[in-house]
Structure 1
Amino acid sequence: MIYCDFAATTPMDPEVAQVYTKVATEYYGNSSSLHDIGGLSHSLLENCREELANLIGIDKSGLYFTSGGSEANFLAIEALLSSPKKEGKHIIAGIAEHSSVHGTLNRLNKSGYDITLVPFNSVGLIDQEQLLHAIKSDTILMILQHVNSEIGTIQPIEEIAKVCNVNHIHLHSDIVQSFGKIDVTPIAPYVSSLSFSGHKIYGPKGIGGAYVDPRIKWEPFFPGASHEKGFRPGTLNIPAIAAMTVAAQKIHARLSEDTIHFQSLRSHFIETLGPIKDRIKLYQAGGESQLPSIIGLGISGIQGQWLMLECNRLGFAISTGSACQIGMQHQAKVTQALGLNREEAKEFIRISFGQSTSLEDVVRLGKTIVTIVKTF
């Protein structure tokens, strides 16, 4: 089976797995315990916090470890709402945000918050005209994913953050898909909070982090929480934190190399689809606004789920969108954000490459899709 669903998750790097095992067996103390064994875990924890903060370009005092990106989104949003820059109950978010964000927004809406969702333009970037038009005097929070997980478009966070700052609005950005794939340090100084995850960068599942600007005096969502300055309850997973840190170091060391690799894979894959190009719609922004490792597309007349199953039968793992939405009886959020009709939404598939993906892999996948479509 050739795996082409790296945007959903990645295999753990063997060296990272060794780190996890070593820390789990040798640094087993609770990092909050006051004895020497606990102190060793605490020292390792803080070293990891500092290293990850440097890679992201943030103040380590605002970095909190979570069980993953979903929890980080939830807790960061709640932290910002506990300390708004002004009075109000209006929140703006992109339609194509992660399901964890939409789940939080649905609950907030029932609690009395006014939610405005903004679509993408035709190339998959947030519609800035509608975004600006949506701002009200009582807008206190904006939520915008840095890189869309289904089509890989890179949103202009720095530019939008400046608008938020002028209007005294907190900005939260989910960088789960951009962390380790592009340099996120340029946007870090401009946002109120960030969220990231370990399993998208060849680290373990069940670990991630949230950053909240230390200047924000947030209130704990969970009363009585004693870990991470009260940001969340529960004993910290030191082995996973250490493993995620090593994974982050490794992926950042080869950032330029990976980018060139993915650009080559993308161009060759699209070229291989040439025989059916008249039936293909690529959803992409192009240039520096596009992550090359994620390809979102639709093939007219072919349902994405059927194509995914055919590819699986022939030895290729692709997807029909975010794994967090699979099985739900509604179209992927990105297809709503792009304004696709029901039939176009059903045709959507996502292909995402990783470090182990070879040129031969993508050419074979492209030829397989061409054969499936022509046979159909």
Structure 2
Amino acid sequence: MKYFDYAATCPLDPEAASAFVKASTEYYGNSQSLHDIGSRASTLLEGCREEIARLLGVKSEGVYFTSGGSEGNFLAVQSLLSQSSKKGKHIITNIAEHSSIHSSLKMLKGYEVTELPLMENGMIDVQQFQSAIRDDTVLACIQHVNSEIGTIQPLNEIGTLCKENGILLHSDCVQSFGKLDVEAISPFVDSLAISGHKIYGPKGIGALYISPSIPFDSFYPNTSHERGMRPGTVNIPAIVSMVTAANKQVRNMNHNDEHIKSLREQFLTQLMDVRDEIIVHGHANAQLASILGLRIKRLEGQWVMLEANRKGYAISTGSACQVGRTSPSKTMLALGINDKSAKEFIRISFGVHTTEADVKGLARTMISIIQEAPQRDNQITSMVK
């Protein structure tokens, strides 16, 4: 099976795996314990905190370790709203945000949420964002990179507007960290969330940054771990492993980007014979190369995914957090694409282990699926229904 679903999760890097084992066996103390074994664990933990802060270009006292991007997004929303210096009950986000953002906002009582669509190129219209700002707008949640089509949102411009209007800005940076320079956007946001398993680290670990200049109340009362941010013994082995993976990805970022851009171009070139049957979504000059979101005309994405799987290739129909739902992807809806066409969507995502041979093989497979599809009209029609 050839893997083309790196945007969902990545295999654990061997160096990160070794770091996990070493930390588990040599730094097993509880970082809150006062004895020497606990102190060694605490020292290692704080070193990791400083390293993540360096990679993000932020202050270490604002970094908190979480169970992943979804929890980070939830805690960011709760924290920023707990002590907002501005009075108001209005929040701006976009339709295509990760499900954890939408779920977090739906939990809020008494708040009005404006969900912005995406332009045809997959970008947020900054002028539309500005027009959505009201006197009572207190928070905006805008992802750095869309997880389904890879578009990079203009956080610098949005962040500037937020600061000018006293609005706090949170950004889900799960897809961008380790692939783009997050340091370039961190001065423009008040909080951001990242996840370990998207950068070849372990699952169940992530980090949240909240600007130390923002006072907030913890969502969990009487909690001592992570300076009151969340309960539970800190998972130091997973943190060490994530930091090891993060360092490697940031260090090799330019090399990886060139490799993946080349693979993407080769893949699309290989599809030229059926290019009229394919619609690629996104902005050519503001898009993460590793995420390729597309539609094959008249073929439902789930059927295409299952056919690819049958032929030995793992692709997806969008964010793994939405798999199993009958509704189309949020990104397709944000682009104004109707239900039937929206269900044609598939996502192909490349990683550091993807080879040229893998890409050529997938391209041949996609061509065969498209060419063989008329023979399976009944199957396609039944799935669409």
**TM-score for the superposition, normalised by structure 1:** 0.98
- Matched to 1:191, the amino acid is V
Measure, in 2, the Cα distance between the counterparts of 1:84 and 1:274: 52
- Measured after TM superposition, the shift of residue 329 of structure 1 is 2.0
Measure, in 2, the Cα distance between the counterparts of 1:328 and 1:85: 38
Task: For residues 162-188 of structure 1, give each alpha carbon's deviation from its aligned partner in whole angstroms, at most 9, with x where no partner exists.
Answer: 000001000000000000001110111
Task: For residues 202-237 of structure 1, give each alpha carbon's deviation from its aligned partner in whole angstroms, at most 9, with x where no partner exists.
Answer: 000000010000000111111111111111111100
- Measured after TM superposition, the shift of residue 128 of structure 1 is 2.0
- Matched to 1:336, the amino acid is L
Task: For residues 42-90 of structure 1, give each alpha carbon's deviation from its aligned partner in whole angstroms, at most 9, with x where no partner exists.
Answer: 0000000001100110100000000000000000111100121310000
Q: Is the 8 A contact 1:62 1:213 kept in 2?
A: yes
Measure, in 1, the Cα distance between the counterparts of 2:85 and 2:146: 27
- Residue from 346, 365, 372 that aligns with 1:368: 365
> Which position in structure 1 is the counterpart of 2:68?
68
- Matched to 2:165, the amino acid is N
Measure, in 2, the Cα distance between the counterparts of 1:85 and 1:318: 45
Q: Is the 8 A contact 2:328 2:342 kept in 1?
A: yes
- Measured after TM superposition, the shift of residue 26 of structure 1 is 1.1
- Residue from 157, 161, 164 that aligns with 1:159: 157
> Which position in structure 2 is the counterpart of 1:282?
280
- Measured after TM superposition, the shift of residue 130 of structure 1 is 2.0
Measure, in 2, the Cα distance between the counterparts of 1:20 and 1:231: 23
- Measured after TM superposition, the shift of residue 360 of structure 1 is 1.1
- Residue from 176, 179, 191 that aligns with 2:189: 191
Measure, in 2, the Cα distance between the counterparts of 1:151 and 1:85: 35
Q: Is the 8 A contact 2:27 2:37 kept in 1?
A: yes
- Measured after TM superposition, the shift of residue 106 of structure 1 is 1.1
Measure, in 2, the Cα distance between the counterparts of 1:226 and 1:271: 55
Measure, in 1, the Cα distance between the counterparts of 2:367 and 2:127: 38
Measure, in 2, the Cα distance between the counterparts of 1:329 and 1:133: 33
Measure, in 1, the Cα distance between the counterparts of 2:333 and 2:60: 37
- Matched to 1:324, the amino acid is C
Measure, in 1, the Cα distance between the counterparts of 2:313 and 2:32: 45
Measure, in 1, the Cα distance between the counterparts of 2:29 and 2:279: 53
> Which position in structure 1 is the counterpart of 2:262?
264
Measure, in 2, the Cα distance between the counterparts of 1:172 and 1:373: 41
**Unaligned segments of structure 1, at least 5 residues:** none
SS of 2:347 mapped into structure 1: strand
> Which position in structure 2 is the counterpart of 1:204?
202
Measure, in 2, the Cα distance between the counterparts of 1:360 and 1:153: 26
SS of 1:258 mapped into structure 2: helix
- Residue from 288, 299, 305 that aligns with 1:291: 288
Q: Is the 8 A contact 1:85 1:169 kept in 2?
A: no
- Measured after TM superposition, the shift of residue 343 of structure 1 is 1.2
> Which position in structure 1 is the counterpart of 2:34?
34
Measure, in 1, the Cα distance between the counterparts of 2:40 and 2:325: 44
SS of 1:351 mapped into structure 2: strand
**TM-score for the superposition, normalised by structure 2:** 0.96
Does residue 302 (structure 1) correspond to residue 296 (structure 2)? The answer is no
- Matched to 1:146, the amino acid is H
Task: For residues 276-308 of structure 1, give each alpha carbon's deviation from its aligned partner in whole angstroms, at most 9, with x where no partner exists.
Answer: 111111101012x11001000001011000000
- Matched to 2:119, the amino acid is N
SS of 1:244 mapped into structure 2: helix
Q: Is the 8 A contact 1:273 1:366 kept in 2?
A: yes
- Matched to 2:84, the amino acid is P
Measure, in 1, the Cα distance between the counterparts of 2:34 and 2:325: 46
Percent identity between the two aligned chains? 54
Measure, in 2, the Cα distance between the counterparts of 1:253 and 1:139: 38
SS of 2:280 mapped into structure 1: strand
**Unaligned segments of structure 2, at least 5 residues:** 374-385
Residues 113-262 of structure 1: matches in 2 within 5 Å?
113-262=111-260
The CA RMSD over aligned residues, in Å, is 0.7
- Measured after TM superposition, the shift of residue 15 of structure 1 is 1.3
- Measured after TM superposition, the shift of residue 253 of structure 1 is 1.0
SS of 2:138 mapped into structure 1: strand
Moved beyond 4 Å, runs of 4+ = none
Measure, in 2, the Cα distance between the counterparts of 1:31 and 1:263: 42
> Which position in structure 2 is the counterpart of 1:312?
309
Task: For residues 98-132 of structure 1, give each alpha carbon's deviation from its aligned partner in whole angstroms, at most 9, with x where no partner exists.
Answer: 11011011111xx1100100010001001223211
Task: For residues 335-359 of structure 1, give each alpha carbon's deviation from its aligned partner in whole angstroms, at most 9, with x where no partner exists.
Answer: 1111111111110000000000011
> Which position in structure 1 is the counterpart of 2:340?
343
Figure out how many residues of one structure are paired with residues of the other and give that number. Answer: 373
- Measured after TM superposition, the shift of residue 137 of structure 1 is 0.5
SS of 1:64 mapped into structure 2: strand
Q: Is the 8 A contact 1:20 1:240 kept in 2?
A: yes
- Measured after TM superposition, the shift of residue 189 of structure 1 is 1.2
- Matched to 2:33, the amino acid is S
> Which position in structure 1 is the counterpart of 2:327?
330
Measure, in 2, the Cα distance between the counterparts of 1:90 and 1:326: 30
Q: Is the 8 A contact 1:8 1:323 kept in 2?
A: yes
- Matched to 1:192, the amino acid is D
SS of 1:285 mapped into structure 2: coil
SS of 1:32 mapped into structure 2: coil
